[in-house]
Structures are given as structure tokens and as C-alpha cells.
Amino acid sequence: MSIFVISQLLVTLALLSDLLSFQFRHRRAVLACLLVSGLLISAHFILLNHWSPAILMLVASVRFFVSIFTVDRRLMWLFMAASVTAVALSFNQWLDLLSLAGSLLQTRAAFCRDDKRLRELMFIGSGCWLLNNILLGSPMAVLMESVFIGSNLLGYYRFYLRRKGSAPAQGG
């Protein structure tokens, strides 16, 4: 089995975790799924020899773990600085800046106190990662990010648009 095929299998597993993530109502459950997904995506980028996105996803995994327990803005700025530093040290191509933009938006999202704003910022950050994955030529990563965006939108609809005017049901 080739390295490329293995990388695509890892992203497929990440896709499953992403699918679950935004179907939970509670931000801790969302973040736990994103932690697992981030580790798998990082391994995917390592196998494809794309170091800036790989390091950004490792930083993101640590960030998701930490943000399960705290939304302290000082830590948010620490993770943003770590992401910028990681890209500065591993910069290889302009696409690294696109993955950095996605990572910075998702860092801000992870430290939101409520899941609604988390979902909104994750959507924008995911758009950056989607474009990055399209331009890097990783078909399963494109599918994964597309499904992630779709799952996020579905969860947003279920919890904030469909029940507009009434309190959202507690689930997950």
C-alpha cells in the first residue's frame, strides 16, 4: 500500500470524527471529536510531506484538548503565536499561509464560550483549509473538509435556525 493511500485512509478516519463533531450540542464533545480528527489529519500531512499544515494540525490538537477545559484568552493568543511561529519555521510555499489563516480562525473558534460562535468561526476557517486541500491535491482531505463544513451547517441549522425562537434541545 502506498504512502498516499495510507494518508487518504487516515483522512477518511478523520472524516468520520468530523462528521460526529458538530452533531453534538455541547462544545466539549465537539472539541473532543476535533482533537481526534486533528491528530489523524496531522499524520496525513506528514505522510504527504507537507510540514506546515502537519505542524498546524498538531498545534490544533493540543489546542482542542486545552480548550475543552478552558476558554482563557491568554491561551488562545499563545496558540495563535505557536501557529505563526510554526509556519515561519516550516514555510515552504504560499499555501502554508492559507492553512495558517484557517488555523488562526479555528483557534479563535476553539476558545469561544458558546458553541454557536464556535460553529460560525469554524465554518470560515474550514473554508481556508478546504481551499488548501484542493490546491494540495488530496482528494480525501477535500471530501473530509467538505463533509466537515456540511456537518457544521447541519448542526447549526438543527440548533439555531430550525428552532429559532425556542430553546435548543439538549443533546450529545
The per-residue pLDDT string of the chain (172 residues; one tens digit each, 9 = 90 and over) reads: 899 999 999 999 998 998 887 678 788 898 899 899 999 999 999 999 999 999 999 999 999 899 899 889 899 999 999 999 999 999 989 999 999 999 999 999 988 888 889 889 999 999 999 999 999 998 988 998 898 898 889 889 988 888 665 554 444 4
With H, G, I as helix, E, B as strand and everything else as coil, classify residue 28.
helix
| Distance of alpha carbon 159 from alpha carbon 157, whole angstroms | 6
Report whether 108 contacts 123 (CB < 8 A). Answer: no
Rounded to an integer, what is the distance from CA 121 to the centroid of its chain? Answer: 10
The 3-class secondary structure across 97-150, one letter per residue, is HHHHHHHHHHHHHHCCCCHHHHHHHHHHHHHHHHHHHHHHCCHHHHHHHHHHHH
In the chain, count of helices (H) and strands (E)? Answer: 7, 0
Angle 128-134-139 from CA coordinates, rounded to 5°: 125
Hey, how many other C-beta atoms are within 10 angstroms of the C-beta on 83? Answer: 24
The model's pTM: 0.82
Q: Which long-range contacts (CB under 8 A, 24 or more apart) does 77-80 make?
A: 79/107, 79/110, 80/104, 80/107, 80/108
What Cα–Cα distance (Å) separates residue 138 from each residue in 75, 98, 133? 31, 15, 6
Residue pair 61/35 in contact (Cβ under 8 Å)? The answer is yes
Cα gap 130→113, rounded to integer Å? 25
